[in-house]
Chain A
C-alpha cells in the first residue's frame, strides 16, 4: 500500500490495527535471475534498482541475519559528498543527489536532514589543506565553504572556543548539503520498494558456498535453506566480504576492522549540525530523538567482533568532551561497533570478481551508509548489463594490480 496522510487517517480510524507488512517473507525459490548476498542497505538498494532501472524482478536478497542488522543499522547516519578526487566526487555526489529524492522515490520517510557537516581545523596546516579541499570540491560543482573561527562559534555555540581549549579551533570546512538520514528507514524503504517490484527478501538465510560450472562460471549458491540456482550473484557484505570471497575461491584487498559508535541519553536541541574533528578522531551529531550520536575512529587491529575496544572508547569520549565540555554529565546509553571493510585507498570496489558471473560491492570501509544509493545503482547496473557503470569504472578490483589507486584516506573522515 501507498503511505500518505490519507492512509494514516484511515489507519487511525481502525486503531492502527490493520497495517499490512511492509514486505513479504517468502520461501526461497529454486531459481532466480540474480541473487544478492547481503540484506543491508547496499544489497537492498541493488535489488531495488535491478527491478526499477533494469526491469529484472526475479531477484532474491539473501540475508544471514535480519535486514539492516549489520553496518546499515550501526553507522552514525551521516551523508555527505566532500571527497577530493574527481572520480569520488562524481560517485558520492550522485549518491547524495539520490538521497535528496529518496523519500519521494521510495514513498518512505528516510528523514534526510541536510543540516551541514563541519570539519574542524585545529592548525594552520589543517586550514591550508581544507582550503585546497574546498576549492577542489567547488571545481567539481559540489557545495563547500570555509568558515572562520567566529562563524564556527556562531554556528556551533556548544563548541569550546575559549583560549584554554585543549584543541584550538582555527576554522572549519563545511558542506552545507551534507547531513544525516535515518539509517533503518533507508534499509526498510529500499526493502519495501524492492518487495513491491517483485524481489524476494529472504532473511535468516546464510550463504555457505558458491556453485560453479566446468568453466568456473557461477551457477548457484548454497545456503542454509538449500541450493538456489542463478547465473548472476552480487555480493554486498561489507566487513564479511573476505569471508564470502574465500568461499568463492579468491582474495580481496580488504581488512576488516571494528568501527565504534555510541549514543548518550537524549537532551534538548543543542547541536544542529554534524561536527567532526579528524585530529582527535571523534565526530558528533544530535539525533532527532535528542541523543548525541558519537562516532569513533577505527580500532586499528583486524576484528570481526561487533564490539569496540575500551581504549578507543576512552579516547573518543575524551576528544568529544574536549570539544563540547557541556556534554560531560551526559550518560552513554549504548555503545556498539560494526565490522567495516577497509581497503588501502579508502575507496570502494564495485564490479566483477575473478569468478565469472560473481560481482562485488565492497571496500566502502568507514563510509558505506552515505553511498547506499549509488552502491546499489552501480552494482545493479553491472549485474544487469555485464558492463561497469560509468561512475564505477575507476573503482575496480584491478586497480590494486595496476596501481591506479584513488586515495581518499582524508575524505573518509576518521583516522585509518
Chain B
C-alpha cells in the first residue's frame, strides 16, 4: 500500500488520505474568457511522471498539504505545505 507522510502526523497509509488533484492552480480573474475559465476548471496536464498534487489527511488531522509524486512508480518525491512554492526536483 502506498504511504504518504503527513507534515503533521508522519507516515500513514494511503487509505487515511484523500487526493485533491493538481495543486498550484491559479484562479483566473472574473473577467476571464469562457475559454480561460473552462481551462482553469477542467483542463489538466495529467502528466505521466512527476505530478504536483494536493492531498488531505481526511481520516487523520484533516489538514491539506502538497505532494510531488511520480504517477508511474507512485514514488513520493517531496511533501510540502500549502502555500509553499513547488520544489525543485532532480536538480
Contacts and interface: CB of A to CB of B under 8 A. Distances in A.
Contact of B19 (A242, A254, A300): A300
Interface string A290-329: 0000000000111111000111000000000000000000
Most-contacted residue by chain A among B1, B37, B42, B45 (CB, 10 A): B42
Contact of A303 (B18, B35, B55, B71): B71
B83 to A, nearest CB: 21
Contacts, number: 74
B45 to A, nearest CB: 6
A194 to B, nearest CB: 28
Given A243-B48, A400-B42, A302 B72 contact: no
Nearest to A400: B42
Contacts of B19: 300-302
B45 A242 contact: yes
Contacts of B44: 242, 251-255
B38 interface: yes
A252 B43 CA distance: 5
Nearest to B72: A304
Interface of A: 240, 242-243, 246, 251-256, 300-305, 309-311, 343-344, 400-403
Given A256-B46, A309-B2, A302 B38 contact: no
B34 A255 contact: no
A343 B43 CA distance: 9
A202 B14 CA distance: 40
Contact of B39 (A243, A251, A303): A251
A51 to B, nearest CB: 32
Nearest to A398: B38
A251 B43 contact: yes
A39 B84 CA distance: 42
Contacts of B48: 240, 242-243, 256, 304
12 contacts: A242-B44, A242-B46, A251-B44, A253-B42, A255-B44, A256-B71, A301-B14, A301-B19, A302-B53, A303-B71, A311-B13, A401-B39
B14 A309 contact: yes
A13 B13 CA distance: 60
B46 to A, nearest CB: 4
A309 B1 contact: yes
A256 to B, nearest CB: 6
Contacts of A253: 42-44
B46 A301 contact: no
A255 B48 CA distance: 10
B55 to A, nearest CB: 8
A403 B41 CA distance: 10
A305 B75 CA distance: 11
A253 B40 CA distance: 10
A112 B41 CA distance: 39
Contacts of A402: 34, 38
B38 A310 contact: no
A253 B43 CA distance: 4
B74 A302 contact: no
A256 B43 CA distance: 12
Contact of B53 (A240, A301, A343): A301
